[in-house]
């Protein structure tokens, strides 16, 4: 049986005004349940926003408020064959990482998968994994790289990895992944965020943190460098 892993990212590796970068989404074997749930909740949100139900529009997390986003998320968490997952990257502690954004993205996806396999999730007891990601921030070179990279990394596990790059405007599953990634981004970057308080099962999310030993450490490397520069003066 095929297992689907749907991921999206929130934040950006190059932005300096936010500490954490997030790749997140969900795992399922019954993708149709996710898409039908999204369609049903989307109709509710459109009515609240006075948008015609039959109008095709992507309700990205940036276009809806926390209350509306929580509607999608609570329904997603309620599905029995869905596991929500994420990797949160502490950019303050990446000064020595030195990888390009495309290479770093592939590495973080691999790191997330290794963490999930270590959790012994029954849903990952499969021979075929289809990784589905939004293509809006993806170069042509990366389209080929990630699938090959994952096949090499997990060859000994006898896993067949397929990567599909999708336009989120036309795919409800990647839109759901956007809500998950944005929720976790807010949780880590916004001190007064309210969204996770509205999502009763947020605690069930499997979250990997990178770099694990330095994650969230205070003072951050940036703060230490500021102090060093002050001392030199």
What counts of helices (H) and strands (E) characterise the chain?
Answer: 7, 6
Interacting residues of 34 by C-beta distance below 8 A, sequence separation 6+: 6, 26, 28, 76, 79, 82, 172, 173, 176
Cβ atoms of 162 and 147 closer than 8 Å: yes
**Residue that has been written with the tokens 């006898």 in this structure:** 158
Predicted confidence (pLDDT) per residue in 202-232, tens digit: 999 999 999 877 787 765 545 555 555 665 5
**Rounded to an integer, what distance in angstroms lies between the CA atom of residue 218 and that of residue 145?**
35
CA 198, chain centre distance (Å): 19
Q: What are phi and psi of 11, to 5 degrees?
A: 90, -170
Q: What is the pTM of this model?
A: 0.89
Residue 37 belongs to what domain range? 2-232
**Rounded to an integer, what distance in angstroms lies between the CA atom of residue 173 and that of residue 6?**
7
Q: Which helix (H) or strand (E) holds 132?
A: strand 128-134
pLDDT at 100 over 70: yes
Please count the structural domains in the chain: 1
Q: What is the CATH number of the domain that holds 47?
A: 3.30.420.10
Highest mean pLDDT among 143-147, 156-160, 196-200 belongs to 196-200
Predicted confidence (pLDDT) per residue in 157-192, tens digit: 888 889 999 999 999 999 999 999 999 999 999 988
Cis amide linkage into residue 197, ω under 30° from 0: no
């Amino acid at each position: 049986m095929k297992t689907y892993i749907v991921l999206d990212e929130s934040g950006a590796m190059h932005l300096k005004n936010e500490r954490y970068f997030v790749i997140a989404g969900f795992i399922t074997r019954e993708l149709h349940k996710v898409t039908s749930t999204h369609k049903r909740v989307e109709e509710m949100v459109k009515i609240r926003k006075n948008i015609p139900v039959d109008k095709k529009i992507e309700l990205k997390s940036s276009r809806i408020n926390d209350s509306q986003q929580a509607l999608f998320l609570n329904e997603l968490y309620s599905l029995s064959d869905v596991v929500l997952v994420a990797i949160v990257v502490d950019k303050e502690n990446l000064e020595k990482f030195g990888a390009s954004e495309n290479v770093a993205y592939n590495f973080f996806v691999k790191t997330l998968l290794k963490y999930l396999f270590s959790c012994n999730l029954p849903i990952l007891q499969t021979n075929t994994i289809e990784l589905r990601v939004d293509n809006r921030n993806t170069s042509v070179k990366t389209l080929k790289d990630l699938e090959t990279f994952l096949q090499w990394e997990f060859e000994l596990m006898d896993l067949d990895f397929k990567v599909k790059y999708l336009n989120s405007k036309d795919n409800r599953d990647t839109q759901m992944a956007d809500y998950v990634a944005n929720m976790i981004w807010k949780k880590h970057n916004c001190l007064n965020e309210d969204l996770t308080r509205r999502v009763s099962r947020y605690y069930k999310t499997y979250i990997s943190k990178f770099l694990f030993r330095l994650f969230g450490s205070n003072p951050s490397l940036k703060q230490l460098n500021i102090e060093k520069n002050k001392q030199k003066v």
